[in-house]
Amino acid sequence: MSNLEEIKLAISSSLPGLSDETLKKCIHGLSAIGVETKDDLQYVKEEDLMEFLRPIQCRKLLNAWKNEEQSSCTSPQRSLRHVLSDTSSPGSESSSSTTSSSTACFSASCAWAETFKVPWEVMSSEIKLAIANKKRPSPADRRKLVRMLVDNMQKHEVNPSKAQCQIVVQNIVKQYPDSFADVLSDGTKIGSGYASLLLQVKTRVEHVNRNNTLARQRKERLRSSCSTISQSSRRLADQYGCVSWQPEEFPAGENDDTLEEKRKQMVLLQSTEGMSGADRGELHKLMEVTYYRQRRDINATPPLSELKNSWPYLFCLKGIFLHFQLLTDISLLQKIMESIQGKGKRIIRFFQEKPSNKEVCAVLSKYQEGNSLVLCILKLLMAHFKERTESLLIEADAAATAADMEREGLPDSPALIIQGESMTPSKWMLSVEREVVLGPFSEAFVEGLAALFATYYNLNLAYQDDAACTLEFIQRYFRS
Protein backbone atom coordinates (compact mmCIF):
# COMPACT_ATOMS: atom_id res chain seq x y z
CA MET A 1 0.00 0.00 0.00
CA SER A 2 1.40 3.44 -0.97
CA ASN A 3 1.98 6.23 1.54
CA LEU A 4 -0.92 8.20 0.00
CA GLU A 5 -3.29 5.26 0.36
CA GLU A 6 -2.20 4.75 3.99
CA ILE A 7 -2.93 8.40 4.79
CA LYS A 8 -6.29 8.20 3.02
CA LEU A 9 -7.21 5.07 5.00
CA ALA A 10 -6.12 6.72 8.26
CA ILE A 11 -8.58 9.55 7.62
CA SER A 12 -11.51 7.55 6.25
CA SER A 13 -11.33 4.89 8.98
CA SER A 14 -11.74 7.54 11.68
CA LEU A 15 -14.28 9.64 9.74
CA PRO A 16 -16.11 7.06 7.57
CA GLY A 17 -18.88 9.46 6.54
CA LEU A 18 -16.51 12.02 5.02
CA SER A 19 -17.32 12.94 1.41
CA ASP A 20 -14.78 12.11 -1.30
CA GLU A 21 -14.35 15.80 -2.10
CA THR A 22 -13.57 16.72 1.52
CA LEU A 23 -11.26 13.71 1.81
CA LYS A 24 -9.28 14.83 -1.24
CA LYS A 25 -8.98 18.39 0.09
CA CYS A 26 -7.81 17.07 3.46
CA ILE A 27 -5.14 14.86 1.87
CA HIS A 28 -3.95 17.72 -0.35
CA GLY A 29 -3.78 20.07 2.66
CA LEU A 30 -1.78 17.55 4.70
CA SER A 31 0.63 17.06 1.81
CA ALA A 32 1.07 20.83 1.56
CA ILE A 33 2.26 21.08 5.19
CA GLY A 34 4.77 18.25 4.77
CA VAL A 35 2.94 15.02 5.65
CA GLU A 36 4.63 12.34 3.56
CA THR A 37 3.89 9.10 5.44
CA LYS A 38 1.32 7.80 7.91
CA ASP A 39 3.86 8.20 10.73
CA ASP A 40 3.89 11.96 10.10
CA LEU A 41 0.22 12.22 11.12
CA GLN A 42 1.10 12.20 14.83
CA TYR A 43 2.62 15.69 14.38
CA VAL A 44 -0.47 17.26 12.81
CA LYS A 45 -2.25 19.92 14.90
CA GLU A 46 -5.91 20.92 14.99
CA GLU A 47 -5.27 24.23 13.23
CA ASP A 48 -3.77 22.31 10.29
CA LEU A 49 -7.15 20.68 9.66
CA MET A 50 -9.59 23.51 10.45
CA GLU A 51 -9.73 24.62 6.81
CA PHE A 52 -11.17 21.27 5.72
CA LEU A 53 -12.95 19.80 8.77
CA ARG A 54 -15.26 20.91 11.56
CA PRO A 55 -13.79 21.19 15.09
CA ILE A 56 -15.20 17.90 16.40
CA GLN A 57 -14.02 16.04 13.30
CA CYS A 58 -10.52 17.48 13.82
CA ARG A 59 -10.43 16.34 17.43
CA LYS A 60 -11.70 12.85 16.63
CA LEU A 61 -9.08 12.49 13.90
CA LEU A 62 -6.19 13.73 16.05
CA ASN A 63 -7.27 11.52 18.95
CA ALA A 64 -7.36 8.46 16.69
CA TRP A 65 -3.93 9.19 15.22
CA LYS A 66 -2.08 10.04 18.41
CA ASN A 67 -3.52 7.23 20.53
CA GLU A 68 -3.74 4.49 17.95
CA GLU A 69 -2.22 1.75 20.07
CA GLN A 70 -4.82 2.32 22.80
CA SER A 71 -7.93 3.16 20.77
CA SER A 72 -7.62 0.86 17.75
CA CYS A 73 -6.80 -2.82 17.38
CA THR A 74 -7.04 -2.91 13.59
CA SER A 75 -3.36 -2.29 12.85
CA PRO A 76 -0.95 -3.92 15.32
CA GLN A 77 2.05 -3.17 13.12
CA ARG A 78 1.35 0.55 13.27
CA SER A 79 0.85 0.38 17.04
CA LEU A 80 4.19 -1.31 17.43
CA ARG A 81 5.97 1.34 15.35
CA HIS A 82 4.33 4.06 17.42
CA VAL A 83 5.45 2.44 20.69
CA LEU A 84 9.00 2.07 19.39
CA SER A 85 9.12 5.72 18.31
CA ASP A 86 8.03 6.73 21.81
CA THR A 87 10.92 4.78 23.35
CA SER A 88 13.46 6.93 21.53
CA SER A 89 12.58 9.90 23.72
CA PRO A 90 14.09 10.56 27.17
CA GLY A 91 12.50 8.79 30.12
CA SER A 92 11.13 5.81 28.19
CA GLU A 93 13.02 3.10 30.01
CA SER A 94 10.23 0.51 29.91
CA SER A 95 10.00 0.23 26.13
CA SER A 96 10.07 -3.56 25.97
CA SER A 97 7.35 -4.02 28.60
CA THR A 98 5.16 -1.39 26.94
CA THR A 99 5.57 -3.04 23.56
CA SER A 100 4.79 -6.50 24.89
CA SER A 101 1.72 -5.29 26.82
CA SER A 102 0.44 -3.43 23.75
CA THR A 103 0.84 -6.59 21.68
CA ALA A 104 -0.91 -8.60 24.40
CA CYS A 105 -3.82 -6.15 24.36
CA PHE A 106 -4.22 -6.58 20.63
CA SER A 107 -3.96 -10.34 20.76
CA ALA A 108 -6.47 -10.72 23.59
CA SER A 109 -9.08 -8.18 22.55
CA CYS A 110 -9.15 -8.40 18.74
CA ALA A 111 -7.95 -11.90 17.87
CA TRP A 112 -11.47 -13.33 17.84
CA ALA A 113 -12.65 -10.60 15.45
CA GLU A 114 -9.89 -11.43 12.96
CA THR A 115 -10.91 -15.09 12.87
CA PHE A 116 -14.65 -14.56 13.28
CA LYS A 117 -16.71 -16.64 10.85
CA VAL A 118 -20.02 -15.21 9.70
CA PRO A 119 -22.66 -17.98 9.89
CA TRP A 120 -23.81 -17.57 6.29
CA GLU A 121 -25.26 -21.08 6.31
CA VAL A 122 -28.01 -20.05 8.75
CA MET A 123 -28.82 -16.74 7.08
CA SER A 124 -32.15 -16.29 5.35
CA SER A 125 -32.62 -17.57 1.81
CA GLU A 126 -33.11 -13.96 0.64
CA ILE A 127 -29.65 -13.01 1.90
CA LYS A 128 -28.06 -16.07 0.29
CA LEU A 129 -29.80 -15.36 -3.02
CA ALA A 130 -28.73 -11.70 -3.01
CA ILE A 131 -25.10 -12.68 -2.39
CA ALA A 132 -25.18 -15.39 -5.05
CA ASN A 133 -26.59 -12.94 -7.62
CA LYS A 134 -24.26 -10.10 -6.48
CA LYS A 135 -27.28 -7.99 -5.55
CA ARG A 136 -27.89 -5.78 -2.55
CA PRO A 137 -30.22 -7.26 0.10
CA SER A 138 -33.40 -5.34 0.89
CA PRO A 139 -33.25 -3.03 3.95
CA ALA A 140 -35.37 -5.51 5.93
CA ASP A 141 -33.14 -8.48 5.01
CA ARG A 142 -30.06 -6.45 5.82
CA ARG A 143 -31.41 -5.62 9.27
CA LYS A 144 -32.05 -9.34 9.85
CA LEU A 145 -28.46 -10.06 8.89
CA VAL A 146 -27.19 -7.39 11.31
CA ARG A 147 -29.25 -8.84 14.16
CA MET A 148 -27.99 -12.38 13.55
CA LEU A 149 -24.44 -11.12 13.08
CA VAL A 150 -24.43 -9.28 16.42
CA ASP A 151 -25.98 -12.29 18.18
CA ASN A 152 -23.04 -14.43 17.04
CA MET A 153 -20.44 -11.75 17.81
CA GLN A 154 -21.77 -11.61 21.37
CA LYS A 155 -20.75 -15.23 21.86
CA HIS A 156 -17.19 -13.88 21.85
CA GLU A 157 -17.75 -10.43 23.41
CA VAL A 158 -20.92 -9.18 25.11
CA ASN A 159 -20.28 -5.60 24.02
CA PRO A 160 -17.92 -5.66 21.00
CA SER A 161 -15.90 -2.49 20.60
CA LYS A 162 -16.02 -0.34 17.49
CA ALA A 163 -12.60 -1.66 16.48
CA GLN A 164 -13.78 -5.26 16.75
CA CYS A 165 -16.98 -4.50 14.81
CA GLN A 166 -14.90 -2.76 12.16
CA ILE A 167 -12.72 -5.83 11.60
CA VAL A 168 -15.78 -8.06 11.16
CA VAL A 169 -17.53 -5.59 8.85
CA GLN A 170 -14.42 -4.98 6.74
CA ASN A 171 -14.08 -8.71 6.14
CA ILE A 172 -17.73 -8.99 5.08
CA VAL A 173 -17.48 -6.08 2.64
CA LYS A 174 -14.19 -7.41 1.28
CA GLN A 175 -15.76 -10.83 0.70
CA TYR A 176 -19.04 -9.55 -0.82
CA PRO A 177 -18.52 -5.97 -2.06
CA ASP A 178 -21.38 -6.11 -4.57
CA SER A 179 -23.89 -6.83 -1.79
CA PHE A 180 -22.59 -4.72 1.09
CA ALA A 181 -20.12 -2.03 -0.01
CA ASP A 182 -21.14 1.65 0.14
CA VAL A 183 -21.18 2.71 -3.52
CA LEU A 184 -23.00 5.17 -5.75
CA SER A 185 -25.04 4.09 -8.75
CA ASP A 186 -22.00 4.56 -11.00
CA GLY A 187 -19.90 2.27 -8.80
CA THR A 188 -17.96 5.02 -7.00
CA LYS A 189 -17.01 3.94 -3.49
CA ILE A 190 -18.29 6.18 -0.69
CA GLY A 191 -15.70 6.89 1.98
CA SER A 192 -14.31 3.70 3.48
CA GLY A 193 -16.92 1.59 1.71
CA TYR A 194 -18.15 -0.06 4.90
CA ALA A 195 -19.31 2.86 7.07
CA SER A 196 -23.07 2.21 6.81
CA LEU A 197 -22.81 -1.48 7.73
CA LEU A 198 -20.43 -0.67 10.60
CA LEU A 199 -22.87 1.91 11.91
CA GLN A 200 -25.76 -0.56 11.77
CA VAL A 201 -23.75 -3.23 13.59
CA LYS A 202 -22.49 -0.89 16.30
CA THR A 203 -25.97 0.61 16.77
CA ARG A 204 -27.37 -2.89 17.18
CA VAL A 205 -24.69 -3.69 19.77
CA GLU A 206 -25.62 -0.58 21.76
CA HIS A 207 -29.31 -1.44 21.43
CA VAL A 208 -29.06 -4.99 22.78
CA ASN A 209 -26.91 -3.73 25.67
CA ARG A 210 -29.21 -0.82 26.52
CA ASN A 211 -30.35 -2.42 29.78
CA ASN A 212 -26.96 -3.85 30.68
CA THR A 213 -25.15 -1.06 32.49
CA LEU A 214 -21.94 -3.03 32.95
CA ALA A 215 -21.75 -3.94 29.28
CA ARG A 216 -22.68 -0.48 27.99
CA GLN A 217 -19.84 1.24 29.80
CA ARG A 218 -16.59 0.27 28.12
CA LYS A 219 -14.52 -2.05 30.30
CA GLU A 220 -10.98 -1.15 31.26
CA ARG A 221 -8.96 -2.85 28.60
CA LEU A 222 -7.41 -6.02 29.97
CA ARG A 223 -6.16 -4.46 33.21
CA SER A 224 -4.12 -7.48 34.25
CA SER A 225 -2.23 -7.91 30.98
CA CYS A 226 -1.96 -4.21 30.16
CA SER A 227 -1.07 -2.78 33.56
CA THR A 228 1.79 -0.72 32.15
CA ILE A 229 -0.53 1.40 30.00
CA SER A 230 -1.08 4.85 31.48
CA GLN A 231 -4.26 5.59 33.42
CA SER A 232 -5.35 8.10 30.77
CA SER A 233 -5.92 5.23 28.30
CA ARG A 234 -8.58 3.77 30.59
CA ARG A 235 -10.93 6.74 30.48
CA LEU A 236 -14.59 5.96 29.87
CA ALA A 237 -15.01 6.10 26.11
CA ASP A 238 -17.14 8.90 24.65
CA GLN A 239 -20.27 7.47 23.07
CA TYR A 240 -21.76 8.17 19.63
CA GLY A 241 -19.18 10.85 18.86
CA CYS A 242 -19.93 12.88 22.01
CA VAL A 243 -17.20 15.16 23.33
CA SER A 244 -18.25 14.95 26.98
CA TRP A 245 -20.20 11.73 27.55
CA GLN A 246 -19.06 11.54 31.16
CA PRO A 247 -16.85 14.38 32.51
CA GLU A 248 -14.11 13.05 34.76
CA GLU A 249 -13.83 16.00 37.12
CA PHE A 250 -16.17 18.29 39.05
CA PRO A 251 -16.52 21.86 37.76
CA ALA A 252 -14.07 24.26 39.36
CA GLY A 253 -15.05 25.01 42.96
CA GLU A 254 -17.83 22.40 43.01
CA ASN A 255 -18.33 19.07 44.74
CA ASP A 256 -21.18 16.59 45.25
CA ASP A 257 -22.74 18.66 48.01
CA THR A 258 -22.74 21.95 46.09
CA LEU A 259 -24.08 20.31 42.93
CA GLU A 260 -26.83 18.60 44.93
CA GLU A 261 -27.82 21.97 46.38
CA LYS A 262 -28.04 23.45 42.87
CA ARG A 263 -30.11 20.48 41.71
CA LYS A 264 -32.55 21.07 44.55
CA GLN A 265 -32.79 24.76 43.58
CA MET A 266 -33.94 23.73 40.10
CA VAL A 267 -36.45 21.22 41.47
CA LEU A 268 -37.86 23.95 43.72
CA LEU A 269 -38.00 26.39 40.82
CA GLN A 270 -39.92 23.88 38.73
CA SER A 271 -42.37 23.15 41.55
CA THR A 272 -43.19 26.86 41.95
CA GLU A 273 -43.00 28.17 38.38
CA GLY A 274 -43.34 25.06 36.26
CA MET A 275 -41.52 24.81 32.94
CA SER A 276 -41.76 28.60 32.51
CA GLY A 277 -38.87 28.70 34.99
CA ALA A 278 -36.67 27.71 32.05
CA ASP A 279 -36.87 31.33 30.86
CA ARG A 280 -34.98 32.54 33.94
CA GLY A 281 -31.43 33.58 33.19
CA GLU A 282 -29.99 31.77 36.19
CA LEU A 283 -31.36 28.42 35.01
CA HIS A 284 -28.91 28.30 32.09
CA LYS A 285 -26.00 28.70 34.53
CA LEU A 286 -27.42 26.10 36.91
CA MET A 287 -27.92 23.57 34.10
CA GLU A 288 -24.42 24.20 32.79
CA VAL A 289 -22.62 23.87 36.12
CA THR A 290 -24.56 20.71 37.10
CA TYR A 291 -23.86 18.98 33.76
CA TYR A 292 -21.36 16.67 35.50
CA ARG A 293 -24.09 15.37 37.82
CA GLN A 294 -26.66 15.16 35.03
CA ARG A 295 -24.40 12.87 32.98
CA ARG A 296 -23.53 10.75 35.98
CA ASP A 297 -27.21 10.23 36.76
CA ILE A 298 -28.18 9.56 33.14
CA ASN A 299 -25.36 7.06 32.61
CA ALA A 300 -26.53 5.15 35.68
CA THR A 301 -29.69 4.40 33.60
CA PRO A 302 -32.35 5.13 36.23
CA PRO A 303 -36.07 4.86 35.41
CA LEU A 304 -37.28 7.77 33.29
CA SER A 305 -39.68 8.92 36.02
CA GLU A 306 -36.80 9.15 38.50
CA LEU A 307 -34.72 11.16 36.04
CA LYS A 308 -37.60 13.56 35.44
CA ASN A 309 -38.08 14.11 39.15
CA SER A 310 -34.38 14.72 39.72
CA TRP A 311 -33.77 16.90 36.66
CA PRO A 312 -37.10 18.37 35.50
CA TYR A 313 -35.50 20.93 33.18
CA LEU A 314 -33.79 18.19 31.22
CA PHE A 315 -37.27 17.76 29.72
CA CYS A 316 -37.94 21.25 28.43
CA LEU A 317 -36.78 22.54 25.05
CA LYS A 318 -34.09 24.85 26.40
CA GLY A 319 -32.77 22.19 28.75
CA ILE A 320 -32.72 19.51 26.05
CA PHE A 321 -30.83 21.68 23.57
CA LEU A 322 -28.37 23.00 26.17
CA HIS A 323 -27.55 19.48 27.39
CA PHE A 324 -27.06 18.31 23.80
CA GLN A 325 -24.70 21.19 23.07
CA LEU A 326 -22.60 20.44 26.15
CA LEU A 327 -22.62 16.75 25.19
CA THR A 328 -21.63 17.16 21.52
CA ASP A 329 -20.45 20.76 21.08
CA ILE A 330 -23.13 21.21 18.40
CA SER A 331 -25.93 23.78 18.32
CA LEU A 332 -28.50 21.26 17.16
CA LEU A 333 -31.56 23.43 16.49
CA GLN A 334 -29.55 25.94 14.50
CA LYS A 335 -27.83 23.18 12.54
CA ILE A 336 -31.10 21.45 11.61
CA MET A 337 -32.84 24.71 10.70
CA GLU A 338 -29.96 25.69 8.41
CA SER A 339 -29.93 22.25 6.83
CA ILE A 340 -33.68 22.20 6.24
CA GLN A 341 -33.52 25.63 4.67
CA GLY A 342 -30.59 24.72 2.44
CA LYS A 343 -31.36 21.08 1.59
CA GLY A 344 -35.01 20.40 2.39
CA LYS A 345 -36.44 21.39 -0.98
CA ARG A 346 -33.72 19.37 -2.70
CA ILE A 347 -35.02 16.19 -1.05
CA ILE A 348 -38.60 16.97 -2.10
CA ARG A 349 -37.51 17.59 -5.70
CA PHE A 350 -35.55 14.35 -5.77
CA PHE A 351 -38.60 12.28 -4.84
CA GLN A 352 -40.85 14.27 -7.18
CA GLU A 353 -38.52 13.49 -10.08
CA LYS A 354 -37.80 9.88 -9.04
CA PRO A 355 -40.52 8.46 -6.77
CA SER A 356 -39.21 5.11 -5.56
CA ASN A 357 -42.52 3.41 -4.71
CA LYS A 358 -46.27 3.94 -4.40
CA GLU A 359 -45.98 4.95 -0.74
CA VAL A 360 -43.72 7.84 -1.74
CA CYS A 361 -46.25 8.88 -4.38
CA ALA A 362 -49.01 8.82 -1.77
CA VAL A 363 -47.07 11.20 0.48
CA LEU A 364 -46.28 13.54 -2.43
CA SER A 365 -49.96 13.64 -3.44
CA LYS A 366 -50.83 15.17 -0.05
CA TYR A 367 -48.00 17.70 0.01
CA GLN A 368 -48.64 21.31 -0.99
CA GLU A 369 -46.73 24.56 -0.66
CA GLY A 370 -47.26 25.86 2.85
CA ASN A 371 -47.30 22.38 4.41
CA SER A 372 -44.70 21.37 6.97
CA LEU A 373 -41.54 20.74 4.97
CA VAL A 374 -39.93 18.84 7.85
CA LEU A 375 -42.89 16.52 8.29
CA CYS A 376 -43.10 15.83 4.56
CA ILE A 377 -39.40 14.94 4.44
CA LEU A 378 -39.77 12.54 7.37
CA LYS A 379 -42.74 10.80 5.76
CA LEU A 380 -41.04 10.60 2.36
CA LEU A 381 -37.92 9.03 3.83
CA MET A 382 -39.89 6.49 5.85
CA ALA A 383 -41.92 5.61 2.76
CA HIS A 384 -38.76 5.27 0.68
CA PHE A 385 -37.07 2.99 3.25
CA LYS A 386 -40.36 1.11 3.78
CA GLU A 387 -40.36 1.81 7.50
CA ARG A 388 -43.50 2.02 9.62
CA THR A 389 -44.48 5.68 9.91
CA GLU A 390 -46.16 5.11 13.28
CA SER A 391 -42.85 3.90 14.77
CA LEU A 392 -41.69 7.53 14.70
CA LEU A 393 -44.74 9.70 13.91
CA ILE A 394 -48.03 9.26 15.74
CA GLU A 395 -51.03 11.18 14.42
CA ALA A 396 -53.52 12.45 16.98
CA ASP A 397 -56.52 14.72 17.30
CA ALA A 398 -55.71 18.38 17.84
CA ALA A 399 -57.59 18.35 21.14
CA ALA A 400 -55.80 15.27 22.56
CA THR A 401 -53.89 15.77 25.80
CA ALA A 402 -50.73 14.05 27.01
CA ALA A 403 -52.83 11.92 29.37
CA ASP A 404 -55.11 10.90 26.46
CA MET A 405 -52.13 9.70 24.42
CA GLU A 406 -50.61 7.77 27.33
CA ARG A 407 -53.93 6.01 27.96
CA GLU A 408 -54.16 4.99 24.29
CA GLY A 409 -50.66 3.53 24.43
CA LEU A 410 -47.34 4.86 23.17
CA PRO A 411 -44.17 3.07 21.97
CA ASP A 412 -41.07 2.55 24.10
CA SER A 413 -38.82 4.32 21.61
CA PRO A 414 -38.91 8.12 21.18
CA ALA A 415 -41.74 9.28 18.92
CA LEU A 416 -43.22 12.57 17.75
CA ILE A 417 -46.96 13.01 18.25
CA ILE A 418 -48.40 15.28 15.56
CA GLN A 419 -51.75 16.89 16.30
CA GLY A 420 -54.10 18.28 13.70
CA GLU A 421 -53.87 17.97 9.92
CA SER A 422 -51.57 15.30 8.54
CA MET A 423 -49.27 17.75 6.73
CA THR A 424 -49.95 20.91 8.73
CA PRO A 425 -49.92 19.96 12.42
CA SER A 426 -51.09 22.62 14.81
CA LYS A 427 -49.23 21.11 17.79
CA TRP A 428 -46.72 18.41 18.57
CA MET A 429 -45.55 16.35 21.55
CA LEU A 430 -42.59 14.08 22.22
CA SER A 431 -42.90 10.72 23.96
CA VAL A 432 -40.24 8.42 25.41
CA GLU A 433 -40.83 5.04 27.04
CA ARG A 434 -44.63 5.32 26.64
CA GLU A 435 -44.70 8.68 28.41
CA VAL A 436 -45.15 12.20 27.01
CA VAL A 437 -42.10 14.17 28.11
CA LEU A 438 -42.55 17.33 26.02
CA GLY A 439 -45.49 19.38 24.84
CA PRO A 440 -47.91 20.02 23.51
CA PHE A 441 -46.12 22.82 21.66
CA SER A 442 -47.36 25.01 18.85
CA GLU A 443 -43.79 25.99 17.89
CA ALA A 444 -42.46 25.04 14.45
CA PHE A 445 -42.29 21.29 13.88
CA VAL A 446 -38.57 21.58 13.17
CA GLU A 447 -38.09 22.07 16.93
CA GLY A 448 -39.80 18.73 17.45
CA LEU A 449 -37.35 17.03 15.09
CA ALA A 450 -34.41 18.65 16.86
CA ALA A 451 -35.78 17.62 20.27
CA LEU A 452 -36.23 14.06 19.01
CA PHE A 453 -32.60 13.78 17.92
CA ALA A 454 -31.34 15.41 21.10
CA THR A 455 -33.32 12.90 23.19
CA TYR A 456 -31.56 9.91 21.61
CA TYR A 457 -28.18 11.37 22.43
CA ASN A 458 -29.00 12.87 25.83
CA LEU A 459 -30.51 9.63 27.16
CA ASN A 460 -28.08 7.19 25.46
CA LEU A 461 -30.80 5.62 23.29
CA ALA A 462 -30.29 3.64 20.10
CA TYR A 463 -32.44 4.29 17.03
CA GLN A 464 -35.40 1.92 16.85
CA ASP A 465 -35.13 -0.69 14.09
CA ASP A 466 -38.34 0.45 12.40
CA ALA A 467 -37.01 3.99 11.85
CA ALA A 468 -33.22 3.52 11.87
CA CYS A 469 -32.65 4.16 8.15
CA THR A 470 -34.61 7.42 8.19
CA LEU A 471 -32.90 8.70 11.32
CA GLU A 472 -29.44 7.73 10.08
CA PHE A 473 -30.09 9.44 6.75
CA ILE A 474 -31.13 12.69 8.42
CA GLN A 475 -28.21 12.55 10.82
CA ARG A 476 -25.72 12.13 7.97
CA TYR A 477 -27.36 14.36 5.36
CA PHE A 478 -27.97 17.32 7.66
CA ARG A 479 -24.72 17.22 9.63
CA SER A 480 -22.54 19.09 7.11
Q: How would you classify the pairing of strands 393-396 and 415-420?
A: parallel
Do 128 and 212 lie in one domain? The reply is: yes
Do 102 and 131 lie in one domain? The reply is: no
Do 168 and 130 lie in one domain? The reply is: yes
pLDDT band of 380, cuts 50, 70, 90: very high
What average pLDDT does the structure give for the chain?
79
Backbone angles phi, psi at 271, to 5 degrees: -70, -25
pLDDT score at 480: 54
Provide the 8-state DSSP code for 217.
S
Do 346 and 264 lie in one domain? The reply is: no
Do 48 and 183 lie in one domain? The reply is: no
How far is the CA of 130 from the CAs of 136, 180, 387, in angstroms?
6, 10, 21
156 contacts: CB under 8 Å, gap ≥ 6: 112, 113, 116
Would you say residue 222 lies in a domain? no
pLDDT score at 115: 87
pLDDT score at 23: 81
Provide the 8-state DSSP code for 239.
S
pLDDT digits (tens, 9 = 90+) for 292-305: 999 999 988 888 88
Do 384 and 464 lie in one domain? The reply is: yes
Q: Which of 109, 144, 175 is the last residue of a domain?
A: 109
Would you say residue 10 lies in a domain? yes
The larger pLDDT score, comparing residue 98 to residue 379, is at 379
Would you say residue 416 lies in a domain? yes
CB 356 within 8 A of CB 384: yes
Angle value at C-alpha 425, between 372 and 455, nearest 5 degrees: 85
pLDDT score at 476: 77
Q: Which of 46-55, 147-156, 372-381, 458-467 has the lowest mean pLDDT?
A: 46-55
Transcribe 411-445 into DSSP letters.
Answer: -SS-EEEEEESSSSEEEEEEEETTEEEEEEE-S-H
Q: Which of 186, 201, 216 is the last residue of a domain?
A: 216
Would you say residue 232 lies in a domain? no
pLDDT score at 301: 81
Do 123 and 207 lie in one domain? The reply is: yes
How far is the CA of 218 from the CAs of 158, 209, 256, in angstroms?
11, 11, 24
pLDDT band of 182, cuts 50, 70, 90: confident
Would you say residue 243 lies in a domain? no
Do 351 and 463 lie in one domain? The reply is: yes
Do 209 and 289 lie in one domain? The reply is: no
Do 99 and 124 lie in one domain? The reply is: no
pLDDT score at 1: 53
Do 290 and 188 lie in one domain? The reply is: no
152 has pLDDT over 60 = yes
Do 341 and 457 lie in one domain? The reply is: yes
pLDDT score at 239: 52
Q: Which of 282, 297, 262, 467 is nearest to 383 (CA)?
A: 467
pTM of the model: 0.54
Would you say residue 240 lies in a domain? no
Determine the structural domain holding residue 44 and report its residue range.
3-87+94-109
Number of domains, the chain = 4
Interhelix angle 373-384/468-477, nearest 10 degrees: 130
274 contacts: CB under 8 Å, gap ≥ 6: none
111 has pLDDT over 90 = no
Distance of CA 268 to the CA centre of its chain: 34
Would you say residue 321 lies in a domain? no
Would you say residue 226 lies in a domain? no
